[in-house]
Amino acid sequence: MSDAATVEFPARPARVHSPQRPDPTPLRLWRGFSGSLAAGLVLLLVVELVVQFWASDHAVPGPGAGVVTGHAVAAALAVAGQLVADRARGWTSAALATAVVLVTALALWFLWWA
């Protein structure tokens, strides 16, 4: 057997991670509130789907396709906005959480009370 030459590679420099400061408590609370509203919209959509299917089986007028579709769109927008808000930082996170609250308010206003 022959002696193989040992090849040594230079050491890789260690990655320097700068620790990110956590978001302030009011922003975390605001994101938590908007997240609960987004989850509430999803639950409301599930309830409306169940009621719509039940109503169609029993020949009773249900919420209707327009209301169910409106809730589906609002829930999708709210969940997407909340996912991005949870991953964003600072003002972007606050603005997206506010958008989730507004989408929820508009959905409830136009699909329930108007």
Question: Is residue 62 helix, strand or coil?
Answer: coil
Structure confidence by residue, pLDDT tens digits, 29-87: 999 999 999 999 999 999 999 999 999 999 999 999 999 999 999 999 999 999 999 99
Tokens in use for 55?
């109503």
User: Given this model, what pLDDT does residue 42 score?
Assistant: 98
Q: Is 30:94 a contact under the CB 8 Å cutoff? A: yes
Q: What is the CA radius of gyration of the chain?
A: 25
User: Given this model, what pLDDT does residue 101 score?
Assistant: 98
Amino acid residing at 1: M
Instruction: Write down the pTM of the prediction.
Output: 0.79
For the cut 60, the answer to whether the pLDDT of residue 23 exceeds it is: yes
Once rounded to an integer, what is the mean pLDDT over residues 22-34? 93
